[in-house]
Amino acid sequence: VNSYKRLVAGQEAPSYICWGQNNRSAMVRVPMWKPNKPSSARIELRSLDTSANPYLAFALILNAGLSGIENAMELPEPAEDDVWSLTPRQRRALGIKPLPSSLEEAVAAMEASELVASTLGDHVYDFFLRNKRAEFEEYARQVTPLELRNLLPSL
């Protein structure tokens, strides 16, 4: 649940679904490379944090890439502006959507993805969803010090 607290505009972690070259606000960044040095070409996927299961994450990343190739999906235009500084209207006009801002939103997105279900298989998919729903439900039942400090006096 804490992974989503880092997805705030203007921080280091990207909070919108887009790609760009040399764009620190992009979820996928394609840094400049040296044409005479092919080994310098790379991409950076900046949305994962250290709490992700690397085996599941890389299986999904690779299968999503293969699916994009097999289905000849068009790559959207790169986001070259600082995505964080754009207004919501500007982001919508560019087709830039936000990443899930909570574990609850991420679980809903996962449930809607046939690619995730087919990549992980029924057993892992169902087990993962069940555990993440339970994690979020436990989190949602907690009363935080912030809530106590700011809301209790008004009762």
The whole model's pTM is what? Answer: 0.83
Are 95 and 76 contacting, i.e. CB atoms less than 8 angstroms apart?
yes
Beta strands, E only, the chain? 16-17, 19-20, 28-29, 44-45, 97-98
* pLDDT tens per residue, range 18-49: 999 888 889 999 888 888 888 888 889 998 88
The per-residue pLDDT for 114 is 96
d(CA 66, CA 77): 20
Are 33 and 91 contacting, i.e. CB atoms less than 8 angstroms apart?
no
* pLDDT tens per residue, range 39-98: 888 889 998 888 899 999 999 999 999 999 999 999 999 998 889 889 999 999 999 999
Q: Is the dihedral of CA 79, 81, 84, 85 positive or negative?
A: negative
The per-residue pLDDT for 36 is 87
β-bridge mates for residue 20, sequence order: 29
Give the pLDDT band (50/70/90) at residue 122: very high
The per-residue pLDDT for 20 is 92
The per-residue pLDDT for 35 is 84
d(CA 57, CA 71): 21
The per-residue pLDDT for 88 is 92
